[in-house]
Amino acid sequence: MKGKKPENAKTDDLHMNTEDSSGEVMSNNQGLRVNDDQNSLTAGDRGPTLLEDFHFREKMTHFDHERIPERVVHARGEAAHGFFESYGDFSSITKAGFLGEKGKKTPVFTRFSTVAGFKGSSDLARDVRGFAVKFYTEEGNYDLVGNNMPVFFIQDAMKFPDLIHAVKPEQDNEIPQAASAHDTFWDFISLIPESMHMIMWVMSDRALPRSLSMMEGFGVHTYRFINKEGKSVFVKFHWKPKLGTHSVIWEEAQKISGQDPDFHRRDLWESIENGNFPEWELGVQLVEEKDEHKFDFDLLDPTKLIPEELVPVKILGKMVLNRNPDNFFAETEQVAFHPGHVVPGIDFTNDPLLQGRLFSYTDTQLTRLGGPNFAEIPINRPITPVHNNQRGGSMRQTINKGKGGYNPNKASGGCPFQASMADGGYVSHHEKIEGHKIRNRSKSFMDHFSQATLFYNSQTKVEQKHIIQALQFELGKVKSEAIRNRMVGMLTYVDQTLAEEVAKGLGIREIQKPEAPLNHSYPADSDPSDYQPTESKTKLKKSEKLSLLASPGKGIQGRIIAILADDGVDETSIKAFQRAIKDAGADSKIISTHSGSITASEGGSFTVDHSLMTTASVLFDAVLVIDGSKSTKSLKNDSLAIRFIDEAYRHYKFIGINGTGENLWDLTYASKNKLPKGVLFNKDPKSFIESISSHRVWEREDADQIPV
């Protein structure tokens, strides 16, 4: 960050482990000053390297071991520091201290991720995004480990390894990378109807965020809040982005993956560097215990959401991300999240997916971070003191004094003491549990299609079209005809027209309804009919908030506008647009026929951010051609400039054409339309910005006809 870094308790805590070499002498890991870091110790001028060369051995050994296993899922991610601020005292619903006082600030570290791709894959894969927040509270670390979609593919953690094996690259040739568009994924999905709701989300534009700061976050499971009186209330968590919810379309996503695979990572990094701090509000849906069974779905079923029409979202506070990490590996790679990291006031439900997660996250860190002491890694350690009787283990950092290490003891005066509830000791909610020891799926989980249909019906026409196209693409990549047919058959249970439209794209003339059983997720000695989907129950026909377009946010903050210009561009005009765009919290980049700089009409020099050869319109939110006859003449001679505008038109983006820029516009395919929608001729900066703040021109019917 430019200027002074915003301090918070965690940032202060990390200082003791940060290293800064400026002005320092080089030493080895033992603190010995290094005289020659360039040449090995050899026997003679041209002789072999000596085993004695401890400096070479230390340097090379460290390098040989500098990678750790990537996360088995969510391997690719990026993170930032910031804070959470409570809007009030919410102690009547939860005793969690970080929500107990108006204006109380808690440091956070938030990591976003894709799920299926490896660490080096593209940000713009069609995928769920992880949204994991570590709150460093005064009562210990609290992790809210969520996703950008409010439901999940499966209902029981037992199926997670199967789901991930199906979606990851196929096991013989490890193809394809970061993509669900292949046979094993759709084979699996077509056999488990419980995935249908999540499939609608993943096939929608939610899977292609424009920016990480333009997507929602969800806790997914139903959790519990516990107040001081020990009263429990069910809670679903939501993160609502200040910038609204926005996505790119699939064709752009594919091109961005080639042009800039780090698109989201770069955007997050740069917006923080530029002081445009991403912000979300934390909201909750609360359900009293007495209302647990009043819904037509089960609150413990992670394939269901609570429509906001039934339970509105109550906003509790905001999260601001305002500092980039100093070191990717030390912080972003080594951070270890766990839904079981909770504080008093937050507790679990019996959602079988959540229950399985409570085992998996510590277990996976043992391999990934190399042993049981990962909580001592600076980014993971709490800002509260840690005292217990855990000892030893690989890479132990803490030096525990005294002769103890057991409890109870008299020798150490009983220390460390257990904490009473009044003293912040965590006590699990006293839930009454009764039942037989069984492997089963509750009948209340068997309504697999209602909310898939609700989601589809709640989308605008454009969004529905994108879901259809996504399914045509994904299933179009599936080689097995049987899988394609089975999937299209399954879709008829969500929506008949959806299935028919997808079938058209796949050349399926006659849709075959899948044969019974529809659900193949049942135990060997059971009656399959006990596990089959039940009839749709949801009476709600539409839920407005399920459409991305329902939460557009305001203004153009976080957007990037491409300014096409060359030598001779009108200086007053380019300056006025640059200033207005910056003042609106957005960024502009000058794109020209060459790199370096351009000289404007009054002799001023402007740095070129990208030559046309090194960028593409898919990386920008809108395009602007500035007046200037010499400038337009050069741009006209570069076919990439013409393609730039046509492609932006095809992707429903606003295009600003000023003065002589019209000569360039006339060369585009798009200009065949004499009344083009969303093409803004000769607008002043203020009205240009006002117009483009609706971001996309979805009503542009001829967009698809542009052949770029």
607 backbone dihedrals φ, ψ, rounded to 5°? -70, 135
The answer to whether 81 is a known catalytic residue is no
Asked if residues 591 and 562 have their Cβ atoms less than 8 Å apart, the reply is yes
Could you tell me which stretch among 16-24, 333-341, 532-540, 636-644 binds ligand HDE (CB under 6 A)? Answer: 333-341
Give min distance, CB of 87 to ligand HDE, in A. Answer: 24
- Closest CB to ligand HDE among residues 379, 618: 379
Contact string (CB under 6 A) for ligand HDE, positions 168-207, x = contact? ----------------------------------------
Give min distance, CB of 67 to ligand HDE, in A. Answer: 16
Q: Determine the Cα–Cα distance for residues 154 and 537; give it in Å rounded to an integer.
A: 19
Given 74, 264, 338, 695, which residue is catalytic?
74
Give min distance, CB of 162 to ligand HDE, in A. Answer: 11
Q: How many helices (H) and strands (E) does the chain have?
A: 17, 18
Give min distance, CB of 152 to ligand HDE, in A. Answer: 4
Q: Determine the Cα–Cα distance for residues 77 and 630; give it in Å rounded to an integer.
A: 44
Could you tell me which stretch among 18-26, 331-339, 453-461, 502-510 binds ligand HDE (CB under 6 A)? Answer: 331-339
Give min distance, CB of 337 to ligand HDE, in A. Answer: 4
Secondary structure (3-state) at 100: coil
Binding-site residue total for ligand HDE (CB under 6 A)? 25
CB-based closest residue to ligand HDE: 130
- Closest CB to ligand HDE among residues 147, 615: 147
Give min distance, CB of 364 to ligand HDE, in A. Answer: 4
What DSSP assignment string belongs to 211-235? -GGGS-EE--S-EEEE-TT--EEEE
Q: Determine the Cα–Cα distance for residues 88 and 74; give it in Å rounded to an integer.
A: 33
Could you tell me which stretch among 200-208, 357-365, 422-430, 519-527 binds ligand HDE (CB under 6 A)? Answer: 357-365
364 binds ligand HDE (CB under 6 A): yes
Tokens representing residue 68 in the block: 């750790």
> How are the residues of the chain apportioned to helix, strand and coil, as percentages rounded to the nearest 5?
30, 15, 50
List the interface residues with ligand HDE, window 133-152 (CB under 6 A): 145-147, 152
Asked if residues 645 and 591 have their Cβ atoms less than 8 Å apart, the reply is no
132 binds ligand HDE (CB under 6 A): yes
Task: Count CB-CB contacts under 10 A for residue 6.
Answer: 14
Interface residue with ligand HDE among 8, 11, 113, 211 (CB under 6 A) is 113
CB burial readout 649-668, b (16+ within 10 A) else e: bbbbbbbbbbbbbeebbeeb
Q: Determine the Cα–Cα distance for residues 578 and 277; give it in Å rounded to an integer.
A: 20
Helices (H), 524-628: 571-583
Interface residue with ligand HDE among 117, 130, 261, 278 (CB under 6 A) is 130
Query: Residue 633: exposed, middle, or buried by beta-carbon count in 10 A (0-12, 13-18, 19+)?
Result: middle
SS (H, E, C) 155-222: CCHHHHHHHHHHHCCCCCCCCCCCCCCCHHHHHHHCCCHHHHHHHHHHHCHHHCECCHHHCCEECCCC
Give min distance, CB of 167 to ligand HDE, in A. Answer: 12
Is there a binding annotation on residue 71? Answer: yes
- Closest CB to ligand HDE among residues 145, 491: 145
CB burial readout 348-359, b (16+ within 10 A) else e: bbebbbbbebee
Helices (H), 299-380: 352-368
Contact string (CB under 6 A) for ligand HDE, positions 50-89, x = contact? ---------------------xxxx--x------------
Give min distance, CB of 338 to ligand HDE, in A. Answer: 7
The answer to whether 74 is a known catalytic residue is yes
Could you tell me which stretch among 275-283, 351-359, 477-485, 492-500 binds ligand HDE (CB under 6 A)? Answer: 351-359
Q: Determine the Cα–Cα distance for residues 426 and 438; give it in Å rounded to an integer.
A: 29
Give min distance, CB of 68 to ligand HDE, in A. Answer: 12
- Closest CB to ligand HDE among residues 113, 617: 113
Interface residue with ligand HDE among 98, 201, 263, 337 (CB under 6 A) is 337
Asked if residues 175 and 477 have their Cβ atoms less than 8 Å apart, the reply is no
List the interface residues with ligand HDE, window 218-247 (CB under 6 A): 220
Q: Determine the Cα–Cα distance for residues 339 and 219; give it in Å rounded to an integer.
A: 10
Give min distance, CB of 132 to ligand HDE, in A. Answer: 4
345 binds ligand HDE (CB under 6 A): no
- Closest CB to ligand HDE among residues 78, 566: 78
Is there a binding annotation on residue 160? Answer: yes
Q: At residue 449, what is the residue type?
A: F
* Beta bridge partner(s), residue 597: 607
Tokens representing residue 631 in the block: 């400038």
- Closest CB to ligand HDE among residues 133, 624: 133
Q: What angle do CA 576, 685, 555 make, to 5 degrees?
A: 120
Is there a binding annotation on residue 484? Answer: no
Secondary structure (3-state) at 288: strand
- Closest CB to ligand HDE among residues 68, 421: 68
Interface residue with ligand HDE among 212, 353, 586, 648 (CB under 6 A) is 353
Is there a binding annotation on residue 368? Answer: yes
- Closest CB to ligand HDE among residues 356, 378: 356
Q: Determine the Cα–Cα distance for residues 163 and 170; give it in Å rounded to an integer.
A: 12
Given 8, 81, 141, 147, which residue is catalytic?
147
Residues recorded for the chain: 708
Within 8 A by CB and 6+ apart from 599, the residues are: 567, 568, 605, 606
List the interface residues with ligand HDE, window 154-173 (CB under 6 A): 157, 160
- Closest CB to ligand HDE among residues 77, 685: 77
- Closest CB to ligand HDE among residues 253, 353: 353
Could you tell me which stretch among 228-236, 305-313, 355-363, 650-658 binds ligand HDE (CB under 6 A)? Answer: 355-363
328 binds ligand HDE (CB under 6 A): no
Give min distance, CB of 81 to ligand HDE, in A. Answer: 14
659 binds ligand HDE (CB under 6 A): no
CA torsion, ordered 24, 11, 380, 145, to nearest 10 deg: -140
Find the distance separating the first CA and the last CA of the chain, reported in whole Å.
39
Give the residue among 306, 279, 222 at the shortest CA–CA distance from 80. Answer: 279
* Beta bridge partner(s), residue 696: 653
Q: What angle do CA 611, 617, 622 make, to 5 degrees?
A: 115
What DSSP assignment string belongs to 600-622? -TTS-EEE-SEEGGG--GGG-SE
Q: Determine the Cα–Cα distance for residues 254 and 258; give it in Å rounded to an integer.
A: 7
Could you tell me which stretch among 228-236, 332-340, 423-431, 666-674 binds ligand HDE (CB under 6 A)? Answer: 332-340
Residues belonging to the binding site are: 71, 111, 160, 357, 361, 368
Catalytic site residues? 74, 147
Binding site for ligand HDE (CB under 6 A): 71-74, 77, 111, 113, 130, 132, 145-147, 152, 157, 160, 220, 335-337, 353, 356-357, 360-361, 364
Residues belonging to the binding site for heme are: 71, 111, 160, 357, 361, 368
